[in-house]
Structure 1
Amino acid sequence: MSEFNLGQSLKGVPKFLNLNTLSAGTLAAIFGCTGPALIVIGGAASGGLTHQQAISWLFAIYFFGGLLGIYLALKYRQPIAGAYSIPGAVLVAGALTQFSLNEAAGAYFVAGVLVLILGVTGLIGKIMRWIPLPIVMGMIVGAMIRFGTGMITSIEAAPLIAGSAVVVYLLSSRYLKKVPPIVSAFVVSMIVALLLNQFKMGDVESGFITPQLVMPSFSLDAIVSIAIPLALLVIGAENAQATGVLMAQGYKPPVNAMTVWSGIGGIVTSFFGGHNANIAGPMTAICSSQEAGEKKEGRYAAVIVNGTLFASFGLFAGVVVPFVSAMPGVLVATVAGLAMIGVLLSSLQAAFSDSKFQIGAFFALIIAMSGVSFFSVSSPFWAIIGGVVVSLIIEKSHFTVKSEETKRDETAGVEVV
């Protein structure tokens, strides 16, 4: 991997800033700043936080998540997007009814430290080298397929808005070669939604709010209930998904570095009442997809766009939240599903094109699709565990072949992390 050269990376951004990278980065930001932000706001309200504390939470995860993505994209010139764990927000929302914000912040801090240690020791990189690629890709399909099915259910819920997006996407793919079809689909569906008066402004308070500092306090119960599951979510859900989609698109993601910076992000955000800033699975999938352009070496520019919008959203969360909440959910769901088509296709091919680890990959797919959650840890983590266990039982001989291939790659100096 080439040494970090900030000047050279920054110099390449204007070269790769085009309609594809701009649209992919903007779409990823719209996706991340709509439904997920409302989950945080709802969780803060149910957890008894004030509006100011909720906005500080949003500031922490979006501002530092955006900066994290920009830094890693420039350093590695890969579309590694930063945000936060959406399942983690749900986990934290339930825990806030039992613990004070200061105790929760202490648990966030500990979760960040745990993730940081796993990255510094290189343990995550070693594990990812050992886990078979088809199983990782099966998990990606299972975890991301909800975007595809969400597109179809959106057509049922709002046929004019969602249907127009799908039809325009298909026609643009066929006839408009110079315009990314996702852009045409988004613009037309936005116009249809406006004509149907589907943008509804809520009663959310609006105005610039200064982020609040939160001093962590440490409770063993909070650490067990929040820190450990949150650390597993960051590693087993977000980082694993991002790593998988990057591999599916032909990148060699820096797994250990992604883990280290996810840990640092968790430590920093804890002082503002935020549960973690880490690598983002869905946003990385959008920014690394073919929708971000044919030149894979330039797709990192989409993350620069996404990260800039994320950081701006976090900084001005108190002002923009009411406008974001007005956007129809079916519009966002449909366009996000269209953006995931390339990721899902490449992941399916990587999961089932080879004869090895097929049963393990299948179990990884269906476990991730099921959405099960054990011990507050969501399905992507258990999909990898289940897929590996199944392959160890039924396809054990395939691991011997994989081990020999990995040794040959390391001997030849091939970068596998």
Structure 2
Amino acid sequence: MERRNQRELIPVQPVTAGLITAVVGFSSSFALVLTGLRGVGADRDQAVSGLLLLCLSMGGLAVWLGLRYRQPISIAWSTPGAALLATAGTPAGGYRAAVGAFVICGLLLTLTGLWPRLSRIVAAIPAGLATGLLAGVLLPLCLAPVQASFHLPGLMLPVIAVWAALLRWARRWATPGALVALLVVLAVRTPLHLGGAAGSLLPRITLSAPAASWSAVIGIALPLYVITMASQNIPGIAVLRHFGYHPPVRPVLTATGLSTTATAFGGGYTVNLAAITAALCAGPDAHPDRDRRWIASVTAGCCYVLLGLTAGASATLLTQAPPQLVEAIAGLALLPTLGSALSSALAEEKGREAAVLTFVVAASGVSAFGIGAPVWALAAGLALRFLI
């Protein structure tokens, strides 16, 4: 009996769930985060700084919120937001304008926490349009594995084979396994050269002064805010409620907004409630007792802090791979999200045409008057829905 009680005092199950959450969450999308930041004009050091600050922010918030409220409140970066950045292009004004857009997005998230009516306005956007917008943003990246398979078959096809096998037998490890397979293939086909890069393996914070740019605000800040709310925060709250929790919505949104605003100067584009990995900490696999599952999210937070220290090494390894392969790994990671978004966008017959229009305009990548495709997509979808 005494030994049993000692075992119960050691929270092995939630700690293990937290470790898995952090490792899977980081390894499955850190390449996309780096690609997204580079896509809006960041150089290597600025992208590494963003990845480091995101990990530190996610970890710190998860630990504080978990200990404060004793709930498995998982914090993540916006994976769909990173996909948006990867396809947005460098705004007028360069990376500094993108930093200004990150600050605006953080302020909007903070305002959402302080003024709940704003979150209700975002929630009022028809679900089909929001998910159609998300699917359109993701599609260009999800095409990258197909393109890489034809242009670099010797490198990409073994990676896809590993990904498909793990998707069948160990689904949560599919993308991390594909990343490991890519590194192995690169090491065999084109040996990695890390000489002289020892100093770059240690991440450091690189701050940039924000610049004012209306095109960046409209083309990056507003779509980033809408996508983060619609595909991360709102579903994240729904996941916690599904498992019987009542998350403190206003404090969480305010904290993530303030954190985004503070870290934006160093490339931290968005932190928010986890949606994709939230169930790993909040579900029964984390612990049979709901009152002990918060240990999983706190453990994940501690792991994110440690993983952030590997940002420099991660970026250095990825620079050894052709950019097309890095985008292909990100595309493999986003395929399940794309499938879910398309399914949701087309689920209801009413308004389906508007959802499809939103999807195709967002996927087109068109830009006019300095305004990117996501804004035009949402505007077109809302106009058609109103019309019919």
Partner of 1:81, secondary structure, is: strand
Give deviations 1:309-348, integer Å, cap 9, x for gaps: 6544655656664344234545443443333333222222
Aligned equivalents of 1:327, 1:73: Cα separation in 2: 38
Q: TM-score, normalised by structure 2?
A: 0.69
Q: How do residues 361-380 of structure 1 correspond to structure 2 at under 5 angstroms?
A: 361-374=355-368, 376=370, 378-380=372-374
Total equivalences in the alignment: 362
Alignment partner, residue 14 of structure 1: 15
Alignment partner, residue 345 of structure 2: 351
Alignment partner, residue 193 of structure 1: 186
Q: How do residues 293-308 of structure 1 correspond to structure 2 at under 5 angstroms?
A: none
Alignment partner, residue 43 of structure 1: 42
Contact 1:146 1:369 in 2 (8 A): yes
Q: Structure 1 residue 57: deviation in Å?
A: 5.6
Contact 2:29 2:330 in 1 (8 A): no
Partner of 1:340, secondary structure, is: helix
Give deviations 1:278-314, integer Å, cap 9, x for gaps: 2369xx575369xx69958759999878765654465
Q: How do residues 303-318 of structure 1 correspond to structure 2 at under 5 angstroms?
A: 311-312=305-306, 314-315=308-309, 317=311
Which consecutive residues of structure 1, in runs of 5 or more, have no partner in the other structure? 1-9, 46-50, 395-417
Q: Structure 1 residue 95: deviation in Å?
A: 1.9
Partner of 1:372, secondary structure, is: coil
Alignment partner, residue 386 of structure 1: 380
Identity %: 22
Contact 1:92 1:275 in 2 (8 A): no
Which consecutive residues of structure 2, in runs of 5 or more, have no partner in the other structure? 1-10, 287-292
Give deviations 1:153-209, integer Å, cap 9, x for gaps: 1212221232122223334445x4698444554444432222112645487662657
Alignment partner, residue 30 of structure 1: 30
Q: 1:241 to 1:159 in 2, by over 3 A?
A: same
Selected match of 1:165 from 149, 153, 159: 159
Higher mean C-alpha displacement, 200-209 vs 180-189 = 200-209
Higher mean C-alpha displacement, 355-364 vs 223-232 = 223-232
Q: Structure 1 residue 210: deviation in Å?
A: 5.8
Partner of 2:212, secondary structure, is: helix
Contact 1:199 1:328 in 2 (8 A): no
Contact 2:19 2:299 in 1 (8 A): no
Alignment partner, residue 6 of structure 2: none
Alignment partner, residue 400 of structure 1: none
Give deviations 1:357-380, integer Å, cap 9, x for gaps: 111111111122112345655433
Q: Structure 1 residue 127: deviation in Å?
A: 1.6
Aligned equivalents of 2:202, 2:60: Cα separation in 1: 20
Contact 1:238 1:280 in 2 (8 A): yes
Q: TM-score, normalised by structure 1?
A: 0.65
Amino acid at match of 1:162: M
Give deviations 1:1-25, integer Å, cap 9, x for gaps: xxxxxxxxx9973252476x46532
Alignment partner, residue 274 of structure 1: 266
Give deviations 1:218-257, integer Å, cap 9, x for gaps: xxx8265656765424313443343577599897798866
Higher mean C-alpha displacement, 293-302 vs 179-188 = 293-302
Aligned equivalents of 1:181, 1:98: Cα separation in 2: 35
Contact 2:106 2:270 in 1 (8 A): no
Aligned equivalents of 1:94, 1:193: Cα separation in 2: 36
Alignment partner, residue 131 of structure 1: 125
Residue 81 (1) aligns with residue 79 (2): no
Contact 1:73 1:303 in 2 (8 A): yes
Backbone CA RMSD of aligned residues: 4.8
Contact 1:111 1:228 in 2 (8 A): no
Give deviations 1:362-411, integer Å, cap 9, x for gaps: 111112211234565543344333212211111xxxxxxxxxxxxxxxxx
Q: Structure 1 residue 108: deviation in Å?
A: 6.0
Amino acid at match of 2:383: V
Q: Structure 1 residue 37: deviation in Å?
A: 5.2
Q: 1:349 to 1:56 in 2, by over 3 A?
A: closer
Alignment partner, residue 235 of structure 1: 225
Contact 2:63 2:298 in 1 (8 A): yes
Aligned equivalents of 2:379, 2:294: Cα separation in 1: 30
Aligned equivalents of 1:276, 1:105: Cα separation in 2: 9
Q: How do residues 87-126 of structure 1 correspond to structure 2 at under 5 angstroms?
A: 94-95=92-93, 112-126=106-120
Selected match of 1:142 from 136, 160, 170: 136
